[in-house]
Amino acid sequence: MKKISLFFVACSAFLNAQFTTPNNGTSYTLTSLSAVAPTVLVKNGTDYNLTADLTISATDKLLVDENTTLKVNSGVAIFVYGEYKTTATNFTITASDITAPYRGIRFEDGAVAEMKNTRIEYGGGVRVLTANAFLMDNCILYKNNNSISGSSGSLASSAALAMYQGKNHVVKNSQFLENSRAGINSGASGSVSIDIINNYFYGNDTDNGNYPQINMGPAGVDSTRVINNIITGNRTITKAGGISVSGLLGGTNRFRVEGNTIRDNRYGITHQGAGSSGIIRNNIIENNNTENNPNLGGSGISLTGTQKVTVRDNQIRGNLWGITILSNAVIDLGTEEDHGNNIFKNNGNNGGTTAFYNNTPNIVNAVGNCWREDELSTDTMVEAVLGSQTANTIVYKPYNCAEPLAVSDTSKSKLSVYPNPSKNHFFLETENAGNVVIQDLSGKVVFSSIVNKGRNEINTNLQPGVYIITQQSEGKKSNIKLIIK
């Protein structure tokens, strides 16, 4: 009789070690789940404690509808084969003991998941194996330890949010803060298309390994879209990069990186992959130089072996290199019909400055860029910040931020401005009526007006700096430098 009792107790302990929903189409809330598994999901006042592994089976659902905190014991994990959805406005998943992380959350192949308004911290991250569209909206992933080792290690070993396959995934309005490896990644072999939009990344890769904060693999015939994010590094973490969108194992890959601010990382944006094409547009890429070793990177943008990448309207400042291309990568930095309008400043190392380096034998069109911001450049000045493996392979003319071209006396009208420098109030004197435009050194028109012959009073609202006034009158054109103080 005692043996049977001991056997029953042992079996009960085993059964209580985890809970799997019955796979019969049941929808659970935390309250109802705690009622059927009270020793696994323990209700403590308004909070819950998960003491053992929880599995949501393929036909079952978990609806998180309470503003509450779920504390998860060390080594414990959540597996979702069915459906998971958050309707709560403030839900936290954290470790019972923040010094002893739980394993994380895994959405298995076939799962359907919407994570909203959730703070996920001190665990092993979120792993998404499902090909179904995954949504993360208004979440915070903080100090997840992706380097937990052993059989009870983290479920997402390489990122706070690890993606593996599928398309139409969306991650938006969320924060990725001080996680041990990447903020978001996808595998090198699986195809993942995703929109990463309006998120904030700070100080990820606290392990200081070779991980960018956004580390995406191939997207297939669809695209990886990284749009309007802020990606800021912690400068004491010297090996963390900004954004990588690569197809290292071949195949088709398309990407769009647009409207992001990328600062204080090891590098800004990098891509590798012979089957890749994409657009890099309207990003601010500054001071990505934390490792401070030009032989190991530090580019604002670096492309290796890509089919074609169109680069437009970026501001690239303070990196070790501006843009570098390698291994027959193809880049379009601007054409006569579609100017690049990229701005470069102070991208330097070892006492030199390199806005663009073409480390391929190919001709590169790089028309209509400002190679030296805040300077009126000549051809010699521009060539000083361009480098190439093969001479005369960069087509850079015409360029912005240019010294005004000399105009013959027969084709120009007399033009003078005073006082110069001025404080947005000055006089422009011309021998002919006509029109004038004022451009900043990137070529952007910041003021325009019709002027009369003789003395014209001009009032502007310009930021301090150097500008170019251009007058056109009766087929004649004149330029003059204006300094606003």
Average pLDDT over residues 61-90: 97
Would you call the peptide bond into 419 cis, given omega within 30 degrees of 0 as the criterion?
yes
- Do residues 179 and 202 lie in contact, with contact meaning Cβ atoms separated by under 8 Å? no
Handedness of CA 470, 473, 477, 481 (dihedral sign): negative
Average pLDDT over residues 49-78: 98
Question: CB-based contacts of 385: which residues, under 8 Å, 6+ apart?
Answer: 322, 344, 347, 353, 354, 355, 356, 371, 372
- Do residues 77 and 102 lie in contact, with contact meaning Cβ atoms separated by under 8 Å? yes
Give dist(CA 347, CA 285) in Å, integer. 11
Neighbouring-strand partners of residue 427: 418, 457
Q: What is the DSSP string of 189-229?
A: SS-EEEEEES-EEES--TT-SS-EEEEE---TTSEEEEES-
Give dist(CA 303, CA 330) in Å, integer. 8
Q: What is the pLDDT of residues 352-382, one digit of tens each?
A: 999 999 999 999 999 999 999 988 899 999 9
Question: CB-based contacts of 478: which residues, under 8 Å, 6+ apart?
Answer: 407, 412, 413, 414, 415, 430, 470, 471
Neighbouring-strand partners of residue 72: 50, 95
Q: What pLDDT shows up at residue 10?
A: 38
Model confidence at 17: pLDDT above 50: yes
Model confidence at 15: pLDDT above 70: no
Model confidence at 248: pLDDT above 80: no
Give dist(CA 61, CA 57) in Å, integer. 8
| Strands 223-227 vs 261-263: parallel, antiparallel or unpaired | unpaired
Q: What is the pLDDT of residues 313-344, one digit of tens each?
A: 999 999 999 999 999 999 999 999 999 999 99
What are the angstrom distances between the C-alpha of 119 and each of 143, 174, 292, 330?
11, 10, 34, 41
Strands of the sheet with 465-473, listed across from one edge: 445-451, 434-439, 465-473, 476-484
Question: Which element (helix H / strand E) includes 10?
Answer: helix 2-15
Question: CB-based contacts of 398: which residues, under 8 Å, 6+ apart?
Answer: 367, 368
Give dist(CA 109, CA 334) in Å, integer. 43
Neighbouring-strand partners of residue 42: 49
What are the angstrom distances between the C-alpha of 218 and each of 128, 167, 257, 330?
16, 11, 14, 18
Q: What is the pLDDT of residues 121-168, one digit of tens each?
A: 999 999 999 999 999 999 999 999 988 765 578 999 899 999 999 999
Residue 107 structure tokens? 């959405």
Q: What pLDDT shows up at residue 409?
A: 44
Handedness of CA 45, 50, 52, 55 (dihedral sign): positive
Question: Which element (helix H / strand E) includes 93?
Answer: strand 91-95
Give dist(CA 354, CA 358) in Å, integer. 10
Report pTM: 0.87
Q: Phi, psi at residue 346, to the nearest 5°?
A: 55, 40
Question: CB-based contacts of 255: which residues, under 8 Å, 6+ apart?
Answer: 216, 219, 223, 224, 225, 226, 245, 271, 276, 277, 278, 279
Q: What is the pLDDT of residues 394-410, one digit of tens each?
A: 999 999 988 765 444 43
Tell me the Cα Rg of the chain. 29
Give dist(CA 16, CA 23) in Å, integer. 18
Give dist(CA 170, CA 403) in Å, integer. 46
Q: What pLDDT shows up at residue 250?
A: 63
Residue 345 structure tokens? 């400043």
Place of tokens 């789940």: 33
- Do residues 92 and 70 lie in contact, with contact meaning Cβ atoms separated by under 8 Å? yes
- Do residues 152 and 178 lie in contact, with contact meaning Cβ atoms separated by under 8 Å? no
Q: What is the pLDDT of residues 417-436, one digit of tens each?
A: 999 999 999 999 988 888 88
**Nearest of 158, 121, 118 to residue 142 by alpha carbon:** 121
What are the angstrom distances between the C-alpha of 372 and each of 217, 281, 338, 438, 441?
34, 19, 20, 19, 9
